[in-house]
C-alpha cells in the first residue's frame, strides 16, 4: 500500500541529517516507526521515548502535512494514527484519519486518467483507510468520513493485489500469505460494518424517543395544515 521513500531521503536519514529531508512526511514516518519499536521492545526507556516524541512534534510542525494532499502525507498520517499508541490520543487519531480520508478524496482513487499502478495503490489505500474510518466511527459514535457510495464505486482489491503490499516476509523470502488473507477478511468486513453503524444509530434514536417522547397530546388536520396540541403539566 505504501510508497518507498526516495533514495535521497533515505540517505539523509541514515546519515542523521533530518534537517535535509525535503518532504517532512518521511520524517514523521521515520520517527513514528522508531517510537513504536522502542515502545514495544523497551517500554521503560522514557528518556529515548521523550526525545522521539519531541522530534515527532518538530517533524509535524509543517502545515503542508495537513493541507497538501499527497500520498506520502496520507501515509504519514495513517502510520501516526494507527501505529504509534505512545503518541496518538483518541481525539488526535480521529483527526489524523479524517484528514487522511479528505486528502485521498482530493487526490482521487479510481480515475481513468491514472496509470494502473497508481490506481491499484490508491484503491488499496482507500480500503485500508475505509476500514479504519468505519472502525473509529463505531468506537466514537460519529459518522464515517467516506460516503458509503464510494465503497460501491471502488472495486475491492484481490488477494494477489494485496500480497506485494505485505511488509513481512517468510524465511524463504516469499510474501506472508497470512497477512494478505487477514487484509482480505478486513476488506470483506468493511462491507457490513456500515450497516452496524446505521443500526446502532437507529437503536439509539429509538431509545431516546421512548425515554423522551414528544410533548404532544393530540394531532389534528385542519384546513390543510397539521396542528399539534401540546400537553400541559398539571399544576
Residue-wise pLDDT for 165-187, tens only, equals 555 444 455 555 545 455 555 55
Residue 74 has pLDDT above 70, yes or no: yes
| 207 assigned to some structural domain | yes
Compute CA distances 171 → 159, 168, 182, 234, whole Å: 20, 10, 19, 79
204 or 66, which is more confident: 66
| 186 assigned to some structural domain | no
Domain residues for the domain of 148 are 7-155+192-230
Lowest-confidence region among 21-30, 49-58, 219-228 = 219-228
Residue 220 has pLDDT above 80, yes or no: no
| 174 assigned to some structural domain | no
Number of separate domains in the chain: 1
Per-residue pLDDT at 203:
62
**Model confidence pTM above 0.75:** no
| 170 assigned to some structural domain | no
The C-alpha cell at 181 is 488473507
189 or 67, which is more confident: 67
Q: CA 71 to CA 181: how far, in whole Å?
A: 24
| 167 assigned to some structural domain | no
Per-residue pLDDT at 232:
46
Residue-wise pLDDT for 84-98, tens only, equals 887 888 888 999 999
| 187 assigned to some structural domain | no
| 51 assigned to some structural domain | yes
Region 195-204: mean pLDDT is 58
Report yes or no: 134 and 145 within 8 Å, Cβ to Cβ: no
Cα angle 62, 68, 66 (rounded to 5 degrees) comes to 50
| 176 assigned to some structural domain | no
190 or 81, which is more confident: 81
The C-alpha cell at 214 is 414528544
Dihedral in degrees, nearest 10, Cα atoms 59, 65, 71, 76 = 40
Report yes or no: 52 and 34 within 8 Å, Cβ to Cβ: yes
Q: In sequence order, which residues have a C-beta less than 8 Å from that of residue 223 and are 6 or more positions away?
A: none
7 or 227, which is more confident: 7
Lowest-confidence region among 62-66, 108-112, 180-184, 215-219 = 215-219
Amino acid at each position: 500500500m505504501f510508497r518507498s521513500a526516495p533514495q535521497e531521503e533515505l540517505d539523509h536519514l541514515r546519515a542523521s541529517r533530518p534537517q535535509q529531508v525535503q518532504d517532512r512526511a518521511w520524517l514523521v514516518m521515520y520517527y513514528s516507526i522508531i517510537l513504536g519499536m522502542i515502545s514495544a521492545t523497551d517500554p521503560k526507556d522514557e528518556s529515548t521515548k521523550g526525545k522521539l516524541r519531541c522530534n515527532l512534534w518538530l517533524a509535524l510542525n509543517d502545515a503542508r502535512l495537513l493541507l497538501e494532499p499527497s500520498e506520502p502525507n496520507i501515509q504519514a498520517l495513517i502510520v501516526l494514527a494507527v501505529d504509534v499508541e505512545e503518541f496518538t490520543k483518541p481525539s488526535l487519531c480521529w483527526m489524523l484519519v479524517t484528514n487522511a480520508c479528505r486528502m485521498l478524496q482530493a487526490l482521487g482513487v479510481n480515475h481513468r486518467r491514472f496509470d494502473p499502478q497508481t490506481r491499484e495503490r490508491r484503491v488499496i489505500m482507500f480500503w485500508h483507510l475505509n476500514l479504519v474510518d468505519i472502525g473509529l466511527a463505531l468506537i466514537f459514535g460519529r459518522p464515517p468520513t467516506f460516503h458509503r457510495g464510494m465503497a460501491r464505486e471502488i472495486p475491492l482489491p484481490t488477494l494477489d493485489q494485496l500480497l506485494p503490499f505485505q511488509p513481512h516476509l517468510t524465511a524463504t523470502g516469499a510474501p506472508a500469505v497470512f497477512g494478505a488473507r487477514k487484509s482480505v477478511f478486513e476488506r470483506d468486513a468493511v462491507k457490513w460494518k456500515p450497516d452496524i453503524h446505521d443500526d446502532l444509530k437507529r437503536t439509539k434514536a429509538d431509545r431516546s424517543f421512548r425515554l423522551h417522547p414528544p410533548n404532544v397530546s393530540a394531532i389534528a388536520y385542519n384546513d390543510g395544515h397539521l396542528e399539534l396540541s401540546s400537553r400541559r403539566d398539571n399544576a
